[in-house]
Chain A
Amino acid sequence: MKGGKIVIRVALIGNPNVGKTAIFNNLTGSRQHVGNWPGVTVEKKEGKCTHKETEMEVVDLPGTYSLEAHAIDERIARDYIIDEKPDVVVDIVDASNIERNLYLTLLLLELEANVVIALNKMDLAASKKYEFDIKELSLLLGVPVIPTVAKTQSGMDKLRDAVLDAAVRKDKHRKVTVGYGDDLEARIKEVEDLILTDTYLANTYPPRWLAIRLLERDDSVMDWISLSPKRDQILEVARW
């Protein structure tokens, strides 16, 4: 809380060229400043936005296609979400190119971030004759979906409302994630159960997500696992 106002932290994420910058500018206007992410030469944009008595501290994460952490941009985005645990993550999706964009969305859902989707470039999508059933999409993904056209500010107010709403409902919100079929799910569960026995790991990283990273042979999680007393067991169960 700051001087009576509630403060929430909002992170913006999305593929490159989806209009993330435009939305960031719409939200923060002139109340923004540019710096660097610690230790790297990647630009970090932060800003503030006040809406209905609530102050939002907005961080613009680097544009990224996935959260694999191979590239520095991806690593920054992912680490921010895991370490800082922002109240809301706004995933900006390009409606006219949605297949590609939803991949990141699914990863965010797996990371158990509190996601609100800004379905941007609706005008472009319309010209391609796309017709979205927004409610159905929202139901299937389990998160609010707000159609926007950042260029014209269309949908921005609804987006701000949705962000506030999501921040309030944070822990009560019903999450949905992709299932991988019985065989894979059994493997995931094996690893997940073991992770759950290490309380530090279980509380720092979403257990299911971590299990999947291990099965995907993601090197970057090695550092986190190494600190755990259960390290060897986990690696064995993951057959790594």
Chain B
Amino acid sequence: MVDVNADTFAEARYKAIDHILHTSLAGRGHHALTTSDMLDRVFLHKRLGIPVFLSLMWATFQFAFAVSEPFMVMLESVFGWLGGLFGEPLTPLISLWADGICGGLGFVLVFIFPIMFLFIALAILEDSGYLPRAAFVMDRLMYRLGLHGRSFIPMLMGFGCNLPAIMATRSIDGERDRLITILINPLMSCGARLPVYVLIAGALFGAYAGSAIFSMYVLGIVLAIIMALLFRKFIPSLRGKPAPFIMELPPYHRPDVKSVLLYMWSRAVIFLKKAGTILLGGALVLWFMASFPWGRGVESSYVGMLGHILEPLVSPLGFDWMAAIALFFGFLAKEIVVETLGILYGVGGSGAITGAVATHMTPVTGLAFMAFTLIYLPCLATVGIVKAETGSWKWTGFMVLYQLVLAYVVAGIIVVVGNFIIGVL
């Protein structure tokens, strides 16, 4: 490691000055504008910066959803064929294969495509050097809304997975800032929730699916901001000195194909590992509960019984007992929500899953369900990490509670407003 000295820092400062001036001063003439300077005049622009960021984010989600669709369909057919290999699920063993493994686990594995494509896009944005600019323009806004500048990276990581994101909050100095960032981090829609959105939006929103999914991410961000402001106001707060925002602007460069693919692959591997363990386990448990007592049909199975107990809790929102079960098991891992629906709709005898979704939910209910999944509480592993990082059951419990309440409230609002709009049209 090359030793640092005063020159290292001086050099960096002069570079920063050059860059600042190229972005804010015209007419310097004798200094040639570099490409980075030119790009930053727009990406860091006081008015254009944020809209451009939002547009790029929207394009990212459009890409991830639309382009992955055909691949998902192809893989679905493969699992469908695999499931049908042994004929009708007349015995528990065949059912285990067809409905449990292929129907449940296989169904969720299909979502590896949107996840892969989403992360490819994010990796490109990251590798090109754009993300620090996004952090800077968003930071100005975030700071005014009570969020800490150093929260941006953990928040951004939260879009991948909330668990490492919460661990990353260690870089935040102020205890209050750190706590707030942890509390709102699960509102950053993690990769595991994406399958839920893709399924529901794909089934109910047709051409607007990409936008519906995008709106969930936006909703998460908006709620995070609101909650952060509320927490700051009502929790006895420490008026500590906010740490400065560290502005790092690496030069732009062409994204390296290898690193982009590596990054995407590492995320895919995480998903596959999860699939092989928790999701498979969850699928098996679910299948068991849904199929036994044997031969009695889904509604009268163990899971049906559980579902009917839970149903009154969510029926005001328009969710049926299957949705309730899906959300219940979703506590283990968010992908299980989709897996559960796959098993329940499948075991219940419905044909194509997306068609099944359409018969169980209206667009309004679907949107509310997506929002509920976004907010209601993070997966078990994340709750565990929150306890570890905050060292407090009190705060962990508070987080779970406020998220459940908020989920109800928001889903409720969506249902009420949505039905009102439909009624009016």
Answer yes or no: A and B touching, Cβ < 8 Å.
yes
Pick the residue among B1, B24, B241, B249 that contacts A137 (CB under 8 A). B24
Residues of the A chain whose Cβ atoms lie less than 8 Å from the Cβ of B46: 135-136, 139
B27 touches A131 (CB 8 A): yes
B9 touches A212 (CB 8 A): yes
User: Is A194 on the interface with B (CB-CB < 8 A)?
Assistant: no
B10-18, B260-268, B391-399, B415-423: which lies at the A interface?
A: B10-18
B18 touches A140 (CB 8 A): no
User: Is A33 on the interface with B (CB-CB < 8 A)?
Assistant: no
Identify the interface centre among B4, B144, B248: most chain A CB within 10 Å of its CB.
B4
Question: When chains A and B are docked, how far (Å) is the Cα of A135 from the Cα of B24?
Answer: 8
Q: How many residues of B contact A (CB 8 A)?
A: 43
How many residue pairs bridge A and B at CB < 8 Å? 118
- If A136-B46, A217-B6 touch, does A106 touch B16 (CB 8 Å cutoff)? yes
Question: When chains A and B are docked, how far (Å) is the Cα of A135 from the Cα of B27?
Answer: 17
Chain A: which residue is nearest B246 at the CB level? A179
B6 touches A133 (CB 8 A): no
Residues of the B chain whose Cβ atoms lie less than 8 Å from the Cβ of A5: none
Residues of the B chain whose Cβ atoms lie less than 8 Å from the Cβ of A171: 239, 241-242
A129 touches B29 (CB 8 A): yes
- A interface bracket (residues with beta carbon within 8 Å of B): 35 or more
The proximity string for A residues 92-104 relative to B, scoring 1 for CB distances below 8 Å and 0 otherwise, is 0000001100110
- If A131-B27, A136-B46, A140-B44 touch, does A103 touch B247 (CB 8 Å cutoff)? no
Residues of the B chain whose Cβ atoms lie less than 8 Å from the Cβ of A98: 21, 25
- If A177-B246, A178-B247 touch, does A106 touch B13 (CB 8 Å cutoff)? yes
Q: In chain B between 214 and 249, which residues have their CB closer than 8 angstroms to a CB of chain A?
A: 239, 241-249
User: Is A112 on the interface with B (CB-CB < 8 A)?
Assistant: yes
The proximity string for B residues 359-396 relative to A, scoring 1 for CB distances below 8 Å and 0 otherwise, is 00000000000000000000000000000000000000
A99 touches B12 (CB 8 A): no
Chain A: which residue is nearest B14 at the CB level? A103
Question: When chains A and B are docked, how far (Å) is the Cα of A189 from the Cα of B8?
Answer: 16
B12 touches A178 (CB 8 A): yes
- Write 18 A-B pairs (CB below 8 A) sorted by A numbering: A68-B6, A99-B17, A99-B18, A112-B244, A136-B44, A140-B44, A142-B244, A171-B241, A175-B245, A178-B12, A178-B13, A178-B246, A178-B247, A180-B248, A208-B243, A215-B9, A217-B6, A218-B6
Extra contacts besides A98-B25, A132-B25, A181-B250 (16): CB < 8 Å: A98-B21, A103-B17, A106-B13, A137-B20, A137-B25, A142-B245, A174-B144, A174-B149, A177-B246, A177-B247, A178-B13, A184-B12, A185-B246, A208-B243, A216-B6, A216-B8
Residues of A within 8 A of B (CB): 68, 98-99, 102-103, 106-107, 109, 112, 128-133, 135-137, 139-142, 171-172, 174-181, 183-185, 187, 189, 196, 208, 212, 215-218, 239
Q: Which 5 A-B residue pairings sit nearest by Cβ, starting from the closest?
A: A179-B248, A175-B244, A136-B24, A137-B24, A177-B244
